[in-house]
Amino acid sequence: MTMMTMTKNTTISCSRCRRKTKFKRSTGWNAAFIQGAVAGFICPTCQTPEENAEAEINEATLTYKIDAFGRTIATTKGASA
């Protein structure tokens, strides 16, 4: 299983249009997760209304952190795990 290694300055690209941005400027982008690890991104322009709503929900409920291996992990706010 391949995982992305990212920091705030890592350049990410849209999985659909290949547009690029810095991770720290990726507000509104939708991250695709596989087993809690970030697997890809979709920019706001490419998101369907349903995906856009999902991104807003994710921003409200998920916390991003960098684990000991430099991977970006999304966890639900308030979760102890």
Based on the shown chain and the rule CB under 5 A, indicate whether residue 38 belongs to the binding site for Zn ion: no
Q: In this chain, which of 12, 14, 38, 55 binds Zn ion, going by CB under 5 A?
A: 14
Based on the shown chain and the rule CB under 5 A, indicate whether residue 22 belongs to the binding site for Zn ion: no
**Cβ 70 to Zn ion, closest distance in Å?**
25
* CB neighbours of residue 65 within 10 Å: 9
CA distance 26 to 76: 19
Query: What are the φ and ψ backbone dihedral angles of 73, each rounded to 5 degrees?
Result: -115, 140
Closest to Zn ion by CB, 36 vs 40, is: 40
Chain residues binding Zn ion by CB under 5 A are 14, 16-17, 19, 43, 46
